[in-house]
């Protein structure tokens, strides 16, 4: 389902979905009430592309309502906002992808292909930006440049799990890749979060994405 109040955006997204393999048939909605009604009539919707700024939605409040009433519907946010705060807040609300409206067709196709294959798709170039409130860090020493000392507390398996999270891989696929159960993946991830003092999902994804290269070394 494509939920956006601008017909030009809906039409552009429809044209993009036509290029995806799988024979998807997009359904449209122009406000929150219509989106809710569409989901009631079509409980098997496999993916929802959602604009946070449309009548009745009120940003993340409307997203909360959608997630509460239809928790099993995967949601990708399509937004004019391309700042880190909005991306991380969307992650906090359980979306599986975030695509800025400034993205080109190829980037949108890549992102949708990833989420339809069971992965997540968040704009790395936005998540990796330093927070505006962050203080500039001193230049790392040659030893520190080879790896983040905080990662030394992790076991090799915890590093593997965190690195794959940073690549956008969901728990189910991490389990297959590492030949362990999904529950074991969650245990390793939980242990890593405790050791690194990561309090929630969005903090963990942010850390994993920004440190993915160092974690994997």
Helices (H), the chain: 7-18, 32-41, 60-69, 84-92, 105-116, 124-127, 142-145, 156-166, 171-178, 182-196, 201-210, 212-215
pLDDT reading at 143 higher than 60: no
Tell me the average pLDDT across 182-198: 91
Residue showing tokens 């170039």: 125
Tell me if 79 is assigned to some domain.
yes
The tens digit of pLDDT for each residue in 156-175 reads 999 999 888 888 788 888 99
Q: How many domains does the chain have?
A: 2
Inform me whether the pLDDT recorded for 196 exceeds 70: yes
Average pLDDT score, the chain: 84
Q: Which residue matches tokens 């997630």?
A: 67
pLDDT band at 139 (very low <50, low <70, confident <90, very high): very low
Pair (122, 67) in one structural domain: yes
Q: Which residue has the higher pLDDT, 9 or 150?
A: 9
Q: What is the pLDDT of residues 15-53, one digit of tens each?
A: 888 888 667 788 999 999 999 999 999 988 989 999 988
The pLDDT of residue 148: 61
Per-residue pLDDT of 2-13, as tens digits, reads: 999 999 999 999
In the three-class reduction of DSSP (H, G, I as helix; E, B as strand; rest coil), residue 167 is classed as: coil
Domain ranges, residue 46: 2-127
Share of the chain above pLDDT 90, in %: 35
106 plus 32 within the same structural domain: yes
pLDDT tens sequence across 124-136: 888 877 655 444 4
Task: Give the separation between CA 151 and CA 147, rounded to whole angstroms.
Answer: 8
Looking at the domain assignment, is residue 27 inside a domain? yes
Predicted local confidence at residue 217, as pLDDT: 52
Which residue did the predictor score with more confidence, 199 or 41? 41
104 and 49 in a common domain: yes
Residue 139 lies in a domain: no
Q: Which residue, 65, 95, 127, sits at the end of a domain?
A: 127
> Which of 98, 127, 156 represents a domain boundary (last residue)?
127
What per-residue confidence (pLDDT) applies to 147? 53
SS3 65: helix
Tell me the pLDDT band of 137, cut-offs 50, 70 and 90. Answer: very low
DSSP 7: H
- Kindly report, residue by residue over 54-99, the tens digit of the pLDDT: 998 888 988 999 988 998 888 999 999 989 889 988 888 888 899 9
């Amino acid at each position: 389902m494509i939920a956006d109040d601008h017909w030009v955006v809906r039409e552009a997204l429809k044209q993009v979905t036509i290029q995806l393999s799988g024979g998807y048939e997009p359904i449209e909605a122009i406000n929150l009430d219509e989106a809710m009604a569409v989901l009631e009539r079509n409980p098997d919707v496999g993916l929802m592309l959602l604009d946070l700024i449309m009548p009745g939605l009120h940003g993340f409040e409307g997203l909360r309502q959608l997630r509460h009433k239809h928790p099993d519907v995967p949601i990708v946010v399509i937004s004019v906002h391309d700042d880190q705060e909005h991306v991380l807040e969307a992650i906090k609300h359980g979306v599986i992808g975030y695509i800025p409206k400034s993205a080109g067709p190829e980037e949108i196709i890549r992102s949708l292909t990833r989420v339809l294959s069971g992965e997540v798709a968040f704009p790395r170039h936005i998540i990796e930006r330093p927070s505006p409130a962050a203080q500039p860090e001193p230049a790392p020493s040659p030893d520190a440049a080879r790896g983040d000392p905080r990662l030394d507390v992790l076991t090799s398996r915890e590093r593997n799990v965190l690195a794959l999270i940073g690549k956008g891989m969901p728990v189910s696929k991490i389990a297959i890749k590492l030949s362990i159960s999904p529950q074991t993946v969650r245990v390793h991830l939980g242990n890593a979060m405790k050791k690194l003092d990561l309090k929630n999902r969005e903090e963990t994804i942010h850390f994993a994405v920004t440190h993915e290269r160092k974690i994997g070394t």
